[in-house]
Structure 1
Amino acid sequence: MLAAAASSLGATIHSLLIRPQVFSLQPVGTAPNDVAIRMAEHRRELRRQARELAKRDPGLACELRIGRPDLARQYDDGGLVDMNHAPAQVIATVPGMRPELVERILQVREAVGVSSSPAELSVTANLSVDLNDELAEYTVYLP
């Protein structure tokens, strides 16, 4: 009788120890992909809010250093890049941006001055239409 009880207790303890390896104990909605999606959506919302702030109050956006991850700052803009002021290495972080495009943008910026929108930059720098979505999502154009 004692042997049966000890065997049952041992099996129960063993089952509890291996349970995490057999069954996921993650709460619903915390799987790694779910967390990654929520973080990406959060950063997208931060970019939207920062672009809205820049449109409403460009001076404040400059003071907060929106789009300037190369400078010390406290405001989280979700990863925006100020195409009118950021250095080449920051512009190069925009998805789809190749070194020759960064150089073209810098040349246009020096010759023409600031751009007011992704569309204006795209036309002025003769960028591919394939970049339009990335420019609209990840850039800001401060005066």
Structure 2
Amino acid sequence: MKGRWYYVVTVCSLGLLAWLPFVHAGTHLRRRSVTMLACGYGLATVVIGTLLAVTPTDENGKSTNSAVGVVGVLLMMATVALGCVQQSALRREVYSGAPPKDTVDPALAAALEARERRENARRIAARDPLLARDLKIGRPDLTRTFDDGGLVDLNSAAPRVIAESCDLPVSTGEDIAAVRPPGGFLTVDDVLSLAEIPVAAWDIIRDRAVTIPRPDWRA
């Protein structure tokens, strides 16, 4: 069984080398919590070593201070027991080849965060169009401080901005602007039915686009 040396080192050294398996696990898992455990057991080794060094002995080498000796022995036993328990899960994780649970690809995290920001901006636009316009949601061409995750407003953005935001040819952005009704599109799907847009581009438009009513719209 792989990783059994964790226990062997800890038990045979009476806890003095219990920190070593944690150092090994830390280099593989790259987690701060494991590094802190290694430091903790290293500190325990220093304390045990200090107790052993300061314990007075007689001419035969026997301890003459039973209290200090008992504390040292109890600390060794606790280090061995606790070390083996904590090493058990780490050993399986290191030798199973499983990736660390808290490792997230930065690109994936950024994409998911941007998607969440777009959904939040859409909720604002649906609930309060005036606030959405004040925040300049869907207008990456304007100076703003609110991060909408990369949305583009099909009712107000220029063709070039629409094309860049949705990764479309400029001509497609111009087609969208050309069929824009006086009051603006009601939904993104209205755009897909009115403009000549390749079906392959529908998903990205639904993901990146929003339709915010124009301020001069009349029922």
TM-score, normalised via structure 1 length:
0.73
Q: Which amino acid aligns with 2:189?
A: A
Deviation (angstroms), 1:47: 0.2
Residue pair 1:46, 1:78 contacting (<8 A) in 2 also: yes
Deviation (angstroms), 1:67: 0.4
Q: Which amino acid aligns with 2:109?
A: R
Residue pair 1:108, 1:125 contacting (<8 A) in 2 also: yes
User: C-alpha deviations, 1:78-120, integer Å up to 9, x for none?
Assistant: 00001110112211113341122111112112xx231121210
2:55 corresponding residue in structure 1 = none
Contiguous gaps of at least 5 residues in structure 1: 1-22
Are 2:192 and 1:122 aligned? Answer: yes
Are 2:127 and 1:56 aligned? Answer: yes
Higher relative contact order (CA 8 A, sep 6+): 1
Are 2:162 and 1:65 aligned? Answer: no
1:107 corresponding residue in structure 2 = 178
| Partner SS for 2:179 | helix
Select which of 36, 48, 55 maps to 2:107.
Answer: 36
CA–CA separation in structure 1 for the residues paired with 2:128 and 2:140:
19
Runs of 4+ in structure 1 over 6 Å off: none
Aligned-residue CA RMSD (Å)? 1.9
Identity of aligned residues (%): 38
Bigger Cα Rg: 2
| Partner SS for 1:92 | helix
1:83 corresponding residue in structure 2 = 154
TM-score, normalised via structure 2 length:
0.49
Residue pair 1:67, 1:86 contacting (<8 A) in 2 also: yes
Residue pair 2:141, 2:161 contacting (<8 A) in 1 also: yes
Are 2:191 and 1:132 aligned? Answer: no
Contiguous gaps of at least 5 residues in structure 2: 1-26, 32-99, 214-219
